[in-house]
Structure formats: structure tokens, C-alpha cells
Amino acid sequence: MKYNRILLKLSGEALMGKRSYGIDNDRLKEYAAEIKKAVEIGCQVAIVIGGGNIFRGVAGAAKGMDRVQGDYMGMLATVINGMALQGALEDAGVHTRLQSAIEMDKVAEPFIKRKATRHLEKGRVVIFGAGTGNPYFTTDTAATLRAVEIGADVILKGTRVDGIYDSDPEVNSNAVKYNSLTFAEVFEKGLKVMDMTAFTLSHENNLPIIVFDMNRENNLLKIVEGENIGTLVNL
């Protein structure tokens, strides 16, 4: 096993599956099954999920909503997604804890770094909800921050494409995929891997990022075991 402790970043939109809004239960079950495979070989798994399938603060602000209010609404959406994934994982027999950056003790533990680390050491999956707990920060930034805090070996960004391309492969059929990139090359080429705050934080802490297709069976397991799947961004 190449990576002992990972931070898996999923977008809220990934949970929609074939739906145009909300949560697809079949997709939840698929993700739970893939995460379980990694847990079963001893990998410690932490997860951050976005909330774009329910509400996105930036979109609300663009329509005239107060940005801070919108961002807090988006944080609550990530907790809903976290609860949904927690339920799917526990249905699959995986012990899971949901921690929130905003206190809501009826549904989630508060985020405590030492407690999260202890859960991971005991083989429990830890889902981090509510972003960083602050407006103006994305869930990409939350994922990187939590990964640094828990001492993750790598950030795995699960998407619907199989890596980083020089242009959008869903629009340009001639787009060229990169198998690996340095942080400097991502800056130079202007590639969008994560938002700049998240990417800079990852760079400064020498925390590699792998962008991969989460919807392809066994991809997560293969990465944990050391196969070259997706695109690796490193120093």
C-alpha cells in the first residue's frame, strides 16, 4: 500500500449521479463500496464533500444574496451530503464519523484534530463537513487544510474525468492529458486543479494532489495501492 492516510475530495455535484439536483442513492452506494475497498486493506480515509448539488454560495451571491449568508448555507449543504455519505458507508458496514466545522451536536461531532486522527487510527472513515467554518473559503481549501492538519499523505480529488488536461476534455475531444505535473507547471500553464488558496496551501506543505475519475470502478483502490491512475501534481 503506497498511501496509508488519504484525504478524498468529492464535489457535491458528483453525488447527483444522473440527476440534475440533489443526491442519487445509487451513486452514494457506489462511492461507499469504493471507499470500503480502500478501508479493508488498511488505508485511513478522510473525506471532504462539496455542497454544489444542493446550494452554492457564490451562485447565490451572483443573484443578489448576501455572500456571507450564502456561504453559510453552502456549508450546511455539505453537512447534508456528509450525513448522506455517512449513512451509505454505515449501511456498507464501514464505521464512520462526521465532524463539522460549525457546531451542530445533534448530527455531527465538532471538528477536533486529535479526535479525528484517533478515529482514523481506529479504522473509521472521517467525513469533514461545513468547509472551514468560514465564508469565502471553498471546500477545496477545506480539504487541503484538513489534509495538512491530519497529516494525510495525499489529496485525492475524485472527479468525472480521468485527470488534468490542457483543455476541457468534455468540450475538446483533442484535449491532451497530463500524467504528472509539478506545482510550478500548473501555475505556468494556468491549469485549474483547485482554487488558488487551496493549491497554494498544498504547495507550501508539499502535499501531493492526484486528480482521478472516481466513477471508474476500483480506481480509488488502485491509487492507494500505488498504481499510476489520473494525474499526479507534486514538487
pLDDT at position 170: 85
- The domain limits of the chain are 5-234
* More confident position, 55 or 125: 125
Range 5-234 classified under CATH 3.40.50.170: no
What does residue 222 show for φ and ψ, rounded to 5 degrees? -60, -40
pLDDT digits (tens, 9 = 90+) for 151-189: 999 999 999 899 999 988 888 989 999 999 999 999 999
What is the three-state SS of 130-171?
Answer: CCCCCCCCCHHHHHHHHHHHHCCCEEEEEECCCCEECCCCCC
Q: Which residues pair with 118 in a beta bridge?
A: none
pLDDT digits (tens, 9 = 90+) for 221-233: 999 999 999 999 9
pLDDT digits (tens, 9 = 90+) for 67-89: 999 999 999 999 999 999 999 99
Instruction: State pTM to two decimals.
Output: 0.95
Are the beta carbons of 37 and 218 closer than 8 angstroms? yes
27-34: average pLDDT = 97
